[in-house]
Amino acid sequence: MQIQKQIKDIQFDNDGVSEAIVMASAAGWYVGKIDKSEGFIQPYNRYSGYFATPEEAQKELELYA
């Protein structure tokens, strides 16, 4: 899992779940959320399909704002 935003700049709710962000996996770039409630960063949910570039995923992220 790769995250386009710095961890320190990500907003988390009281449950440790992040705002929607641009992330990547082996399948490509996507919009999703991460979870840190168990003391480490892990994927939480994926809200979009996969994209070839982070720029394409960023355009999709703007639909969630």
| Predicted pLDDT at 3 | 87
Q: Is the pLDDT of residue 15 over 70?
A: yes
43 contacts 34 by C-beta, under 8 angstroms: yes
pLDDT confidence of 65, banded at 50, 70, 90?
A: low
Tell me how far apart the 2 most distant CA atoms of the chain are, in Å. 32
Higher per-residue confidence, 41 vs 4:
41
Nearest-angstrom CA–CA distance, 56 and 47: 14
Mean pLDDT score across all residues of the chain:
94
Long-range interactions of 59-63: CB distance < 8 A, separation 24+: 60/30, 60/31, 61/20, 61/21, 61/22, 61/31
Q: Is the pLDDT of residue 64 over 90?
A: no
